[in-house]
Structure 1
Amino acid sequence: MSSRYRRDGVLLAADWIDPATPAWPYTRPERSQEPTPPTPAGDHRWPRVLEALRRAGEQDGEQAAAWWAQYTVVGRSRGDVTAVAREVLAGIDAGDPAVLDGLPAFDVAGYDADRYRGQAPDDAPDWDDLSDADRASAIDAARDGFTTAVQDNVAARCAALLDDDIDTIG
Protein backbone atom coordinates (compact mmCIF):
# COMPACT_ATOMS: atom_id res chain seq x y z
CA MET A 1 0.00 0.00 0.00
CA SER A 2 1.47 3.34 -0.96
CA SER A 3 2.40 5.95 1.61
CA ARG A 4 -0.25 8.32 0.29
CA TYR A 5 -3.01 5.84 1.10
CA ARG A 6 -1.56 5.13 4.52
CA ARG A 7 -1.44 8.87 5.28
CA ASP A 8 -4.95 9.42 3.97
CA GLY A 9 -6.19 6.40 5.94
CA VAL A 10 -4.77 7.83 9.15
CA LEU A 11 -6.34 11.18 8.43
CA LEU A 12 -9.64 9.50 7.56
CA ALA A 13 -9.51 7.67 10.89
CA ALA A 14 -8.91 11.01 12.62
CA ASP A 15 -11.99 12.39 10.82
CA TRP A 16 -14.03 9.46 12.13
CA ILE A 17 -12.86 10.05 15.69
CA ASP A 18 -13.89 13.71 15.65
CA PRO A 19 -15.95 14.52 12.54
CA ALA A 20 -16.33 18.16 13.64
CA THR A 21 -12.59 18.75 13.22
CA PRO A 22 -11.25 17.84 9.79
CA ALA A 23 -7.83 16.18 10.03
CA TRP A 24 -6.82 17.11 6.49
CA PRO A 25 -5.77 20.78 6.49
CA TYR A 26 -5.99 21.22 2.71
CA THR A 27 -8.82 21.03 0.25
CA ARG A 28 -8.57 17.90 -1.81
CA PRO A 29 -8.78 18.13 -5.58
CA GLU A 30 -11.15 15.80 -7.34
CA ARG A 31 -9.52 12.52 -8.39
CA SER A 32 -9.70 13.40 -12.08
CA GLN A 33 -8.09 16.81 -11.43
CA GLU A 34 -5.22 15.41 -9.35
CA PRO A 35 -1.96 15.97 -11.21
CA THR A 36 0.36 13.06 -11.81
CA PRO A 37 3.80 13.67 -10.38
CA PRO A 38 6.36 14.51 -13.05
CA THR A 39 9.16 12.05 -13.64
CA PRO A 40 12.76 13.25 -13.56
CA ALA A 41 13.21 15.29 -16.72
CA GLY A 42 10.45 13.31 -18.42
CA ASP A 43 12.57 10.19 -18.03
CA HIS A 44 10.78 7.09 -19.31
CA ARG A 45 13.03 4.94 -17.08
CA TRP A 46 11.70 6.40 -13.81
CA PRO A 47 8.86 3.87 -13.29
CA ARG A 48 11.41 1.07 -13.80
CA VAL A 49 13.75 2.73 -11.28
CA LEU A 50 10.93 2.96 -8.73
CA GLU A 51 10.09 -0.72 -9.27
CA ALA A 52 13.75 -1.68 -8.73
CA LEU A 53 13.80 0.36 -5.51
CA ARG A 54 10.62 -1.36 -4.38
CA ARG A 55 12.13 -4.81 -5.05
CA ALA A 56 15.29 -3.82 -3.15
CA GLY A 57 13.09 -2.68 -0.26
CA GLU A 58 11.30 -6.04 -0.37
CA GLN A 59 14.62 -7.89 -0.10
CA ASP A 60 15.61 -5.77 2.90
CA GLY A 61 12.17 -6.41 4.42
CA GLU A 62 12.52 -10.17 3.99
CA GLN A 63 15.85 -10.09 5.82
CA ALA A 64 14.41 -7.93 8.60
CA ALA A 65 11.45 -10.30 8.98
CA ALA A 66 13.81 -13.27 9.25
CA TRP A 67 15.76 -11.48 11.97
CA TRP A 68 12.54 -10.57 13.78
CA ALA A 69 11.31 -14.15 13.65
CA GLN A 70 14.62 -15.50 14.94
CA TYR A 71 14.35 -13.40 18.08
CA THR A 72 10.58 -13.44 18.54
CA VAL A 73 8.98 -16.73 17.52
CA VAL A 74 11.78 -19.23 16.75
CA GLY A 75 15.33 -20.02 17.71
CA ARG A 76 16.32 -17.55 20.42
CA SER A 77 12.81 -16.65 21.55
CA ARG A 78 11.55 -17.42 25.05
CA GLY A 79 8.12 -18.12 26.43
CA ASP A 80 4.98 -19.22 24.65
CA VAL A 81 5.78 -18.50 21.01
CA THR A 82 2.40 -19.74 19.78
CA ALA A 83 0.60 -17.07 21.82
CA VAL A 84 2.95 -14.44 20.38
CA ALA A 85 2.39 -15.77 16.87
CA ARG A 86 -1.41 -15.65 17.30
CA GLU A 87 -1.25 -12.10 18.69
CA VAL A 88 1.03 -10.86 15.91
CA LEU A 89 -0.99 -12.53 13.17
CA ALA A 90 -4.25 -11.07 14.51
CA GLY A 91 -2.60 -7.65 14.91
CA ILE A 92 -1.32 -7.63 11.34
CA ASP A 93 -4.74 -8.67 10.04
CA ALA A 94 -6.44 -5.94 12.08
CA GLY A 95 -3.81 -3.28 11.34
CA ASP A 96 -3.22 -2.91 15.09
CA PRO A 97 -0.62 -0.13 15.60
CA ALA A 98 0.62 -1.76 18.81
CA VAL A 99 1.59 -4.89 16.85
CA LEU A 100 2.76 -3.12 13.68
CA ASP A 101 5.02 -0.81 15.70
CA GLY A 102 6.74 -3.90 17.12
CA LEU A 103 7.77 -5.09 13.64
CA PRO A 104 10.98 -3.95 11.95
CA ALA A 105 10.59 -0.44 10.53
CA PHE A 106 12.12 1.18 7.48
CA ASP A 107 14.95 3.60 8.32
CA VAL A 108 13.87 6.77 6.52
CA ALA A 109 16.66 8.81 8.10
CA GLY A 110 19.23 6.32 6.82
CA TYR A 111 18.03 6.50 3.21
CA ASP A 112 20.51 8.68 1.35
CA ALA A 113 22.43 8.92 -1.92
CA ASP A 114 24.62 5.91 -1.10
CA ARG A 115 21.68 3.64 -0.35
CA TYR A 116 19.85 4.91 -3.46
CA ARG A 117 22.91 4.14 -5.64
CA GLY A 118 23.15 0.66 -4.13
CA GLN A 119 19.51 -0.13 -4.89
CA ALA A 120 18.82 1.72 -8.15
CA PRO A 121 19.63 0.31 -11.59
CA ASP A 122 22.86 1.46 -13.23
CA ASP A 123 21.07 3.75 -15.67
CA ALA A 124 18.99 5.49 -12.96
CA PRO A 125 19.27 9.26 -12.58
CA ASP A 126 21.80 10.47 -10.03
CA TRP A 127 20.45 11.21 -6.54
CA ASP A 128 21.70 14.79 -6.83
CA ASP A 129 19.73 15.26 -10.07
CA LEU A 130 16.42 14.26 -8.46
CA SER A 131 13.94 16.86 -7.28
CA ASP A 132 12.69 16.70 -3.71
CA ALA A 133 9.47 15.09 -4.95
CA ASP A 134 11.40 12.45 -6.90
CA ARG A 135 13.59 11.71 -3.88
CA ALA A 136 10.45 11.30 -1.79
CA SER A 137 9.03 8.94 -4.45
CA ALA A 138 12.23 6.90 -4.38
CA ILE A 139 12.14 6.64 -0.60
CA ASP A 140 8.42 5.77 -0.66
CA ALA A 141 9.04 2.98 -3.18
CA ALA A 142 11.77 1.43 -1.04
CA ARG A 143 9.73 1.90 2.16
CA ASP A 144 6.59 0.40 0.63
CA GLY A 145 8.52 -2.65 -0.54
CA PHE A 146 10.16 -3.04 2.86
CA THR A 147 6.96 -2.64 4.87
CA THR A 148 4.95 -4.99 2.67
CA ALA A 149 7.65 -7.66 2.78
CA VAL A 150 8.03 -7.40 6.56
CA GLN A 151 4.30 -7.78 7.17
CA ASP A 152 3.87 -10.57 4.61
CA ASN A 153 6.90 -12.54 5.82
CA VAL A 154 6.15 -12.12 9.52
CA ALA A 155 2.55 -13.22 8.91
CA ALA A 156 3.74 -16.24 6.91
CA ARG A 157 6.22 -17.25 9.62
CA CYS A 158 3.59 -16.89 12.37
CA ALA A 159 1.04 -18.87 10.35
CA ALA A 160 3.61 -21.61 9.67
CA LEU A 161 4.46 -21.78 13.36
CA LEU A 162 0.79 -22.12 14.27
CA ASP A 163 0.30 -24.80 11.57
CA ASP A 164 3.29 -26.74 12.94
CA ASP A 165 1.88 -26.44 16.46
CA ILE A 166 -1.47 -27.85 15.33
CA ASP A 167 0.29 -30.71 13.46
CA THR A 168 2.25 -31.77 16.55
CA ILE A 169 -0.89 -31.77 18.73
CA GLY A 170 -3.10 -33.61 16.26
Structure 2
Amino acid sequence: MTSYEAGQRVALLHTTDPYTLLRPGDTGTVRRHDQRHNIVEVTWDSGSTLSMCLDDGDRIAPTATPPPTGDPVAEAAGWAAALQRMRAAGTEAGRTAAESWAQDTIGARAGGGTRLAAHRILSGLDEVDPVVLDALPRFSSAGDPVDTAGWELFADANGDVSGWFGLRIQQRDEAMAVYRDAYDTAVTDRVAELCQLAASPTGSDVSHLRPDRVRIGGVGVFSGDWARTTGPDGDDRIEVGFVGTLIDRWNGWAVFSCTREVAEAIVADQQRHRDRYRHRLREQGVPADDLDRRVDSELADLSFDGDVIVADQRALSDGPEAIERIPPDGDGRYMVMGRSWCWEAVDPYACDRIVGDLPEPDQAQAGPRPGHAASPEAEPAPAAASDTTTTNESNRRKAR
Protein backbone atom coordinates (compact mmCIF):
# COMPACT_ATOMS: atom_id res chain seq x y z
CA MET A 1 0.00 0.00 0.00
CA THR A 2 1.32 3.43 -1.01
CA SER A 3 1.99 5.69 1.95
CA TYR A 4 1.40 9.45 1.71
CA GLU A 5 3.12 11.98 3.99
CA ALA A 6 1.78 15.27 5.29
CA GLY A 7 2.80 18.09 2.94
CA GLN A 8 3.13 15.78 -0.06
CA ARG A 9 1.71 17.07 -3.33
CA VAL A 10 -0.78 14.78 -5.13
CA ALA A 11 -3.01 14.81 -8.22
CA LEU A 12 -6.51 13.43 -8.50
CA LEU A 13 -6.92 10.54 -10.89
CA HIS A 14 -10.45 9.41 -10.05
CA THR A 15 -13.07 9.84 -7.34
CA THR A 16 -16.27 7.91 -6.70
CA ASP A 17 -17.98 11.00 -5.22
CA PRO A 18 -20.63 12.02 -7.80
CA TYR A 19 -21.23 15.43 -6.22
CA THR A 20 -17.72 16.88 -5.97
CA LEU A 21 -16.52 19.60 -8.31
CA LEU A 22 -13.04 18.07 -8.33
CA ARG A 23 -11.85 16.77 -11.71
CA PRO A 24 -9.00 14.47 -12.75
CA GLY A 25 -5.79 16.45 -12.75
CA ASP A 26 -6.69 18.71 -9.84
CA THR A 27 -3.82 19.00 -7.38
CA GLY A 28 -3.60 19.38 -3.65
CA THR A 29 -1.52 18.89 -0.50
CA VAL A 30 -1.79 15.92 1.85
CA ARG A 31 -2.78 16.77 5.42
CA ARG A 32 -2.83 13.25 6.83
CA HIS A 33 -2.89 9.61 5.73
CA ASP A 34 -5.00 7.30 7.91
CA GLN A 35 -3.31 4.05 6.94
CA ARG A 36 -5.63 1.91 9.04
CA HIS A 37 -8.65 2.91 6.94
CA ASN A 38 -6.52 3.93 3.91
CA ILE A 39 -8.03 7.40 3.80
CA VAL A 40 -5.96 10.39 2.66
CA GLU A 41 -7.05 13.84 3.81
CA VAL A 42 -6.19 16.46 1.20
CA THR A 43 -6.40 20.22 1.01
CA TRP A 44 -7.14 20.76 -2.65
CA ASP A 45 -5.86 23.85 -4.46
CA SER A 46 -9.47 24.56 -5.52
CA GLY A 47 -10.49 24.92 -1.86
CA SER A 48 -12.11 21.50 -1.52
CA THR A 49 -11.19 19.34 1.49
CA LEU A 50 -12.62 16.08 0.10
CA SER A 51 -10.78 13.07 1.54
CA MET A 52 -9.78 10.16 -0.67
CA CYS A 53 -11.08 6.72 0.34
CA LEU A 54 -8.54 4.65 -1.52
CA ASP A 55 -10.12 1.29 -0.64
CA ASP A 56 -13.44 2.49 -2.09
CA GLY A 57 -12.11 3.38 -5.54
CA ASP A 58 -10.69 6.88 -5.16
CA ARG A 59 -7.30 7.25 -6.83
CA ILE A 60 -4.55 9.83 -6.45
CA ALA A 61 -0.89 9.90 -7.44
CA PRO A 62 2.18 11.79 -6.29
CA THR A 63 3.05 14.74 -8.51
CA ALA A 64 6.28 16.59 -9.10
CA THR A 65 5.18 18.93 -11.88
CA PRO A 66 6.93 22.29 -11.52
CA PRO A 67 4.85 25.43 -11.98
CA PRO A 68 4.98 27.22 -15.35
CA THR A 69 8.13 29.30 -15.72
CA GLY A 70 6.63 31.98 -17.90
CA ASP A 71 9.63 31.53 -20.23
CA PRO A 72 8.29 30.33 -23.63
CA VAL A 73 11.74 29.15 -24.76
CA ALA A 74 12.22 27.03 -21.64
CA GLU A 75 8.68 25.68 -21.85
CA ALA A 76 9.18 24.76 -25.55
CA ALA A 77 12.40 22.94 -24.68
CA GLY A 78 10.65 21.13 -21.85
CA TRP A 79 7.81 20.07 -24.16
CA ALA A 80 10.27 18.81 -26.78
CA ALA A 81 12.01 16.76 -24.09
CA ALA A 82 8.67 15.34 -22.95
CA LEU A 83 7.84 14.30 -26.53
CA GLN A 84 11.25 12.68 -26.89
CA ARG A 85 10.57 10.63 -23.75
CA MET A 86 7.16 9.64 -25.17
CA ARG A 87 8.89 8.54 -28.40
CA ALA A 88 11.44 6.47 -26.49
CA ALA A 89 8.70 4.87 -24.39
CA GLY A 90 6.64 4.07 -27.49
CA THR A 91 9.67 2.49 -29.18
CA GLU A 92 10.43 0.30 -26.18
CA ALA A 93 6.80 -0.81 -25.85
CA GLY A 94 6.60 -1.56 -29.58
CA ARG A 95 9.72 -3.71 -29.55
CA THR A 96 8.40 -5.62 -26.54
CA ALA A 97 5.06 -6.21 -28.28
CA ALA A 98 6.83 -7.39 -31.45
CA GLU A 99 8.98 -9.87 -29.54
CA SER A 100 5.95 -11.31 -27.77
CA TRP A 101 4.03 -11.57 -31.05
CA ALA A 102 6.97 -13.25 -32.77
CA GLN A 103 7.13 -16.00 -30.15
CA ASP A 104 3.74 -17.26 -31.35
CA THR A 105 4.47 -16.68 -35.03
CA ILE A 106 8.10 -17.51 -35.81
CA GLY A 107 9.51 -18.30 -32.37
CA ALA A 108 9.59 -20.98 -29.73
CA ARG A 109 5.81 -21.13 -29.24
CA ALA A 110 5.05 -21.38 -32.97
CA GLY A 111 4.44 -24.67 -34.70
CA GLY A 112 5.19 -25.75 -38.26
CA GLY A 113 7.67 -24.15 -40.64
CA THR A 114 8.76 -21.00 -38.86
CA ARG A 115 11.40 -20.23 -41.48
CA LEU A 116 8.80 -20.29 -44.23
CA ALA A 117 6.47 -18.14 -42.13
CA ALA A 118 9.28 -15.63 -41.54
CA HIS A 119 10.00 -15.52 -45.26
CA ARG A 120 6.33 -14.81 -46.02
CA ILE A 121 6.23 -12.00 -43.47
CA LEU A 122 9.39 -10.42 -44.88
CA SER A 123 7.95 -10.55 -48.40
CA GLY A 124 4.74 -9.00 -47.11
CA LEU A 125 6.63 -6.17 -45.42
CA ASP A 126 8.63 -5.50 -48.60
CA GLU A 127 5.47 -5.46 -50.69
CA VAL A 128 3.45 -3.47 -48.09
CA ASP A 129 0.90 -6.29 -48.08
CA PRO A 130 -2.08 -5.21 -45.93
CA VAL A 131 -2.75 -8.83 -44.95
CA VAL A 132 0.69 -9.03 -43.31
CA LEU A 133 0.67 -5.51 -41.90
CA ASP A 134 -2.80 -5.89 -40.37
CA ALA A 135 -1.66 -9.03 -38.54
CA LEU A 136 1.08 -7.16 -36.64
CA PRO A 137 0.42 -5.75 -33.17
CA ARG A 138 -0.60 -2.11 -33.32
CA PHE A 139 -0.98 0.49 -30.59
CA SER A 140 -4.51 0.81 -29.29
CA SER A 141 -6.12 2.25 -26.19
CA ALA A 142 -9.39 0.41 -26.88
CA GLY A 143 -11.21 -0.51 -23.69
CA ASP A 144 -9.77 2.37 -21.67
CA PRO A 145 -10.95 5.97 -21.50
CA VAL A 146 -8.63 8.08 -23.63
CA ASP A 147 -7.65 10.29 -20.69
CA THR A 148 -6.78 7.25 -18.58
CA ALA A 149 -4.61 5.70 -21.30
CA GLY A 150 -2.98 9.05 -22.01
CA TRP A 151 -2.04 9.99 -18.48
CA GLU A 152 -0.75 6.50 -17.71
CA LEU A 153 1.54 6.52 -20.76
CA PHE A 154 2.63 10.08 -20.14
CA ALA A 155 3.29 9.36 -16.47
CA ASP A 156 5.35 6.26 -17.30
CA ALA A 157 7.41 8.16 -19.86
CA ASN A 158 7.91 11.36 -17.90
CA GLY A 159 7.72 10.19 -14.29
CA ASP A 160 4.90 12.57 -13.45
CA VAL A 161 1.16 11.99 -13.70
CA SER A 162 -0.23 15.47 -13.20
CA GLY A 163 1.65 16.95 -16.15
CA TRP A 164 -0.80 15.28 -18.51
CA PHE A 165 -3.76 17.14 -17.06
CA GLY A 166 -2.07 20.47 -17.55
CA LEU A 167 -1.67 19.91 -21.29
CA ARG A 168 -3.84 21.50 -23.93
CA ILE A 169 -5.93 19.14 -26.08
CA GLN A 170 -3.57 19.70 -29.03
CA GLN A 171 -0.60 18.77 -26.85
CA ARG A 172 -2.29 15.59 -25.64
CA ASP A 173 -3.05 14.64 -29.25
CA GLU A 174 0.55 15.36 -30.25
CA ALA A 175 1.95 13.31 -27.37
CA MET A 176 -0.27 10.34 -28.20
CA ALA A 177 0.55 10.59 -31.93
CA VAL A 178 4.27 10.56 -31.16
CA TYR A 179 3.86 7.53 -28.90
CA ARG A 180 1.64 5.71 -31.41
CA ASP A 181 3.98 6.34 -34.38
CA ALA A 182 7.01 5.24 -32.38
CA TYR A 183 5.20 2.11 -31.19
CA ASP A 184 4.00 1.05 -34.64
CA THR A 185 7.34 1.80 -36.30
CA ALA A 186 9.21 -0.18 -33.64
CA VAL A 187 6.85 -3.13 -34.11
CA THR A 188 7.46 -3.25 -37.86
CA ASP A 189 11.23 -2.79 -37.55
CA ARG A 190 11.61 -5.39 -34.79
CA VAL A 191 9.41 -7.93 -36.59
CA ALA A 192 11.57 -7.46 -39.70
CA GLU A 193 14.75 -8.01 -37.65
CA LEU A 194 13.38 -11.17 -36.04
CA CYS A 195 12.10 -12.52 -39.36
CA GLN A 196 15.47 -11.88 -40.99
CA LEU A 197 17.05 -14.10 -38.34
CA ALA A 198 14.34 -16.77 -38.54
CA ALA A 199 14.29 -16.84 -42.36
CA SER A 200 18.05 -16.95 -42.72
CA PRO A 201 19.61 -20.29 -43.67
CA THR A 202 22.52 -19.37 -41.41
CA GLY A 203 20.54 -18.13 -38.41
CA SER A 204 22.01 -14.63 -38.79
CA ASP A 205 20.94 -11.48 -40.59
CA VAL A 206 22.04 -11.68 -44.25
CA SER A 207 19.98 -8.79 -45.60
CA HIS A 208 23.19 -6.91 -46.47
CA LEU A 209 23.89 -9.61 -49.08
CA ARG A 210 20.68 -9.13 -51.06
CA PRO A 211 21.43 -8.99 -54.81
CA ASP A 212 20.47 -5.32 -55.23
CA ARG A 213 23.23 -4.41 -52.76
CA VAL A 214 26.04 -6.35 -54.43
CA ARG A 215 28.53 -4.20 -56.31
CA ILE A 216 31.80 -4.95 -58.11
CA GLY A 217 34.32 -5.78 -55.40
CA GLY A 218 31.56 -6.64 -52.92
CA VAL A 219 30.49 -9.97 -51.46
CA GLY A 220 27.27 -11.72 -52.46
CA VAL A 221 25.61 -15.11 -52.65
CA PHE A 222 25.64 -16.66 -56.13
CA SER A 223 23.74 -19.44 -57.85
CA GLY A 224 21.93 -20.18 -61.10
CA ASP A 225 18.74 -21.47 -62.68
CA TRP A 226 19.87 -25.06 -62.18
CA ALA A 227 19.55 -24.66 -58.40
CA ARG A 228 16.03 -23.24 -58.41
CA THR A 229 13.28 -25.37 -56.98
CA THR A 230 9.79 -24.99 -55.53
CA GLY A 231 9.23 -24.81 -51.79
CA PRO A 232 6.46 -26.55 -49.85
CA ASP A 233 4.22 -23.52 -50.22
CA GLY A 234 4.85 -23.09 -53.93
CA ASP A 235 7.44 -20.37 -53.38
CA ASP A 236 10.67 -20.16 -55.39
CA ARG A 237 13.62 -21.62 -53.54
CA ILE A 238 17.33 -22.14 -54.27
CA GLU A 239 18.90 -25.38 -53.11
CA VAL A 240 22.32 -23.91 -52.41
CA GLY A 241 24.02 -20.52 -52.74
CA PHE A 242 27.77 -19.88 -52.81
CA VAL A 243 29.51 -16.93 -51.15
CA GLY A 244 31.90 -15.04 -53.39
CA THR A 245 33.24 -11.63 -54.40
CA LEU A 246 31.75 -10.10 -57.54
CA ILE A 247 34.67 -9.25 -59.82
CA ASP A 248 32.98 -8.72 -63.18
CA ARG A 249 29.73 -8.75 -65.13
CA TRP A 250 29.58 -10.61 -68.39
CA ASN A 251 26.60 -10.34 -70.75
CA GLY A 252 24.45 -9.52 -67.73
CA TRP A 253 25.69 -12.50 -65.69
CA ALA A 254 27.89 -12.44 -62.60
CA VAL A 255 31.55 -13.44 -62.49
CA PHE A 256 32.80 -14.01 -58.97
CA SER A 257 35.80 -15.37 -57.11
CA CYS A 258 35.56 -17.70 -54.12
CA THR A 259 37.62 -19.57 -51.57
CA ARG A 260 38.87 -23.14 -51.96
CA GLU A 261 36.10 -24.33 -49.61
CA VAL A 262 33.41 -22.80 -51.81
CA ALA A 263 35.07 -24.02 -55.00
CA GLU A 264 35.07 -27.57 -53.64
CA ALA A 265 31.38 -27.21 -52.81
CA ILE A 266 30.62 -26.05 -56.37
CA VAL A 267 32.47 -29.05 -57.79
CA ALA A 268 30.63 -31.39 -55.42
CA ASP A 269 27.30 -29.78 -56.29
CA GLN A 270 27.97 -30.26 -60.00
CA GLN A 271 28.74 -33.92 -59.34
CA ARG A 272 25.47 -34.20 -57.43
CA HIS A 273 23.59 -32.84 -60.45
CA ARG A 274 25.41 -35.30 -62.69
CA ASP A 275 24.52 -38.21 -60.39
CA ARG A 276 20.91 -37.07 -60.21
CA TYR A 277 20.70 -36.84 -64.00
CA ARG A 278 22.36 -40.23 -64.40
CA HIS A 279 19.79 -41.78 -62.04
CA ARG A 280 16.95 -40.19 -64.01
CA LEU A 281 18.32 -41.57 -67.29
CA ARG A 282 18.70 -45.02 -65.76
CA GLU A 283 15.06 -44.94 -64.63
CA GLN A 284 14.09 -44.00 -68.19
CA GLY A 285 15.76 -47.16 -69.47
CA VAL A 286 18.90 -45.67 -71.01
CA PRO A 287 21.47 -48.48 -71.46
CA ALA A 288 24.33 -48.52 -68.96
CA ASP A 289 26.99 -48.23 -71.67
CA ASP A 290 25.36 -45.00 -72.89
CA LEU A 291 24.91 -43.28 -69.54
CA ASP A 292 28.32 -41.60 -69.42
CA ARG A 293 27.94 -40.15 -72.91
CA ARG A 294 24.47 -38.81 -72.18
CA VAL A 295 25.50 -37.24 -68.87
CA ASP A 296 28.68 -35.71 -70.33
CA SER A 297 26.74 -34.24 -73.26
CA GLU A 298 24.38 -32.46 -70.88
CA LEU A 299 26.52 -31.46 -67.88
CA ALA A 300 30.14 -30.38 -67.61
CA ASP A 301 32.41 -32.68 -65.60
CA LEU A 302 34.26 -30.78 -62.86
CA SER A 303 37.05 -32.24 -60.76
CA PHE A 304 40.16 -31.19 -58.85
CA ASP A 305 43.65 -32.00 -60.07
CA GLY A 306 45.71 -30.91 -57.10
CA ASP A 307 44.94 -27.22 -56.69
CA VAL A 308 43.53 -26.86 -60.20
CA ILE A 309 39.89 -27.33 -61.20
CA VAL A 310 39.49 -29.28 -64.43
CA ALA A 311 36.31 -28.50 -66.39
CA ASP A 312 35.74 -31.13 -69.09
CA GLN A 313 33.13 -29.86 -71.55
CA ARG A 314 34.20 -31.80 -74.64
CA ALA A 315 31.01 -33.81 -75.05
CA LEU A 316 28.82 -30.87 -74.06
CA SER A 317 30.30 -28.44 -76.62
CA ASP A 318 31.27 -31.12 -79.17
CA GLY A 319 34.80 -29.77 -79.16
CA PRO A 320 37.82 -32.03 -78.50
CA GLU A 321 39.80 -29.12 -77.03
CA ALA A 322 37.09 -27.98 -74.60
CA ILE A 323 38.96 -28.81 -71.40
CA GLU A 324 39.55 -25.82 -69.16
CA ARG A 325 41.98 -25.74 -66.25
CA ILE A 326 41.09 -23.22 -63.52
CA PRO A 327 44.00 -22.49 -61.15
CA PRO A 328 43.68 -20.36 -58.00
CA ASP A 329 44.79 -16.76 -58.17
CA GLY A 330 47.56 -15.28 -56.04
CA ASP A 331 45.19 -15.12 -53.06
CA GLY A 332 44.18 -18.77 -53.42
CA ARG A 333 40.74 -17.87 -54.82
CA TYR A 334 38.95 -19.46 -57.77
CA MET A 335 36.76 -18.10 -60.55
CA VAL A 336 34.67 -21.22 -61.17
CA MET A 337 33.13 -21.28 -64.65
CA GLY A 338 33.03 -17.53 -64.86
CA ARG A 339 32.02 -16.32 -68.36
CA SER A 340 30.80 -19.84 -69.08
CA TRP A 341 27.95 -20.46 -66.65
CA CYS A 342 25.02 -18.14 -66.06
CA TRP A 343 25.79 -17.20 -62.48
CA GLU A 344 23.77 -14.49 -60.76
CA ALA A 345 23.61 -12.88 -57.34
CA VAL A 346 20.59 -14.32 -55.52
CA ASP A 347 18.52 -13.53 -52.46
CA PRO A 348 20.23 -15.31 -49.55
CA TYR A 349 16.86 -15.71 -47.82
CA ALA A 350 15.66 -17.83 -50.75
CA CYS A 351 18.53 -20.29 -50.26
CA ASP A 352 18.02 -23.52 -48.36
CA ARG A 353 21.77 -23.64 -47.72
CA ILE A 354 24.69 -21.22 -48.09
CA VAL A 355 28.31 -22.30 -48.44
CA GLY A 356 31.08 -19.91 -47.45
CA ASP A 357 31.98 -17.42 -44.75
CA LEU A 358 29.56 -14.51 -44.52
CA PRO A 359 30.99 -11.03 -43.93
CA GLU A 360 29.70 -8.54 -41.42
CA PRO A 361 27.42 -5.83 -42.90
CA ASP A 362 30.15 -3.19 -42.85
CA GLN A 363 32.57 -5.52 -44.67
CA ALA A 364 30.32 -6.85 -47.44
CA GLN A 365 30.63 -4.12 -50.05
CA ALA A 366 34.29 -3.16 -50.29
CA GLY A 367 36.07 -1.78 -53.32
CA PRO A 368 37.40 -3.99 -56.13
CA ARG A 369 40.13 -6.40 -55.10
CA PRO A 370 43.57 -5.65 -56.60
CA GLY A 371 43.82 -7.08 -60.08
CA HIS A 372 40.05 -7.56 -60.45
CA ALA A 373 38.82 -4.13 -61.53
CA ALA A 374 36.49 -4.50 -64.49
CA SER A 375 33.97 -2.59 -66.52
CA PRO A 376 30.32 -3.05 -65.51
CA GLU A 377 29.51 -5.06 -68.64
CA ALA A 378 32.69 -6.75 -69.77
CA GLU A 379 32.53 -8.97 -72.83
CA PRO A 380 33.63 -12.64 -72.76
CA ALA A 381 37.22 -13.49 -73.47
CA PRO A 382 37.82 -14.04 -77.22
CA ALA A 383 39.06 -17.59 -76.70
CA ALA A 384 35.73 -18.63 -75.18
CA ALA A 385 33.49 -16.79 -77.65
CA SER A 386 32.90 -19.78 -79.97
CA ASP A 387 31.51 -21.88 -77.11
CA THR A 388 29.35 -19.18 -75.49
CA THR A 389 25.93 -20.12 -76.89
CA THR A 390 26.33 -23.86 -76.47
CA THR A 391 27.73 -23.60 -72.96
CA ASN A 392 25.10 -21.18 -71.71
CA GLU A 393 22.21 -23.19 -73.12
CA SER A 394 23.59 -26.37 -71.59
CA ASN A 395 24.04 -24.61 -68.28
CA ARG A 396 20.41 -23.44 -68.36
CA ARG A 397 19.27 -27.02 -69.03
CA LYS A 398 21.49 -28.32 -66.26
CA ALA A 399 18.74 -29.14 -63.72
CA ARG A 400 16.17 -30.34 -66.22
CA distances 1:91-124 after superposition (whole Å, capped 9, x unpaired): 22222221111011102345321221111255x9
Q: Which residue pairs with 1:19 in the alignment?
A: none
Aligned to 1:86: 119
Question: Which amino acid in 2 is paired with 1:160?
Answer: L
TM-aligned CA deviation for residue 78 of structure 1:
1.1
Task: Please tell me whether residue 141 in structure 1 is matched to residue 178 in structure 2.
Answer: yes
Q: What does residue range 98-137 of structure 1 map to in structure 2 within 5 Å?
A: 98-109=131-142, 110=144, 111-122=149-160, 126-137=163-174
**TM score, norm. by length of structure 2:** 0.30
Map of 2:48 onto structure 1 = none
1:114-156 CA distances to partner (integer Å, 9 max, x unpaired)? 221111255x971111111111111111111111111001001
Query: Is contact 1:65–1:153 with CA below 8 Å preserved after alignment?
Result: yes
**Residue of structure 1 in register with 2:84 after alignment:** 51
| Distance of 1:115 and 1:67 partners within structure 2 | 20
- The equivalent of 1:169 in structure 2 is 353
What is the aligned partner in structure 1 of residue 109 from structure 2? 76
Considering only CA atoms, is the larger Rg found in Structure 1 or Structure 2?
A: 2
TM-score, length of structure 1 as denominator length: 0.68
Mean Cα displacement is larger for which, 127-136 or 159-168?
159-168
1 CA distance for matches of 2:154 and 2:126? 31
Segments of 5+ residues of structure 1 without an aligned counterpart are 1-40
In 1, Cα distance between the equivalents of 2:150 and 2:96? 20
Task: Decide whether the 8 Å contact of 2:150 with 2:172 is kept in 1.
Answer: no
Give the 3-state SS of the residue equivalent to 1:85 in structure 2. helix
1:69 alignment partner, SS class = helix
Structure number with the bigger relative contact order (C-alpha 8 A, sep ≥ 6) is 1
Equivalent residues of 2:107, 2:114 under 8 A apart:
yes
SS in 2 for 1:78: coil
CA contact (8 A) 1:49 1:121 kept: no
Per-residue deviation at 1:76? 0.9
Structure with more of its chain in helix, by fraction: 1
Q: Provide the C-alpha distance between the structure 2 equivalents of 1:46 and 1:58, rounded to a whole number of angstroms.
A: 18
Identity %: 32
Who is 2:197 aligned against?
Answer: 160
Task: Read off the aligned partner of 2:175 and give its amino acid letter.
Answer: A
Residue of structure 2 in register with 1:67 after alignment: 100
Count of aligned residue pairs for this structure pair: 129
Q: Is the 8 A contact 1:106 1:146 kept in 2?
A: yes
* Distance in 2 between residues matched to 1:121 and 1:89, nearest whole Å: 37
Cα distance between partner residues in 2 of 1:106 and 1:47: 22
Matching residue's letter, 1:130: L
| Structure 2 unaligned residues grouped into runs of 5+ | 1-70, 204-348, 355-400
Whether contact under 8 Å (2:115, 2:199) holds in the other structure is: yes
As a proportion of its length, which structure holds more strand? 2
Larger CA deviation: 104-113 vs 61-70: 104-113
SS of structure 2 residue aligned to 1:75: coil
Q: Is the 8 A contact 1:108 1:139 kept in 2?
A: no
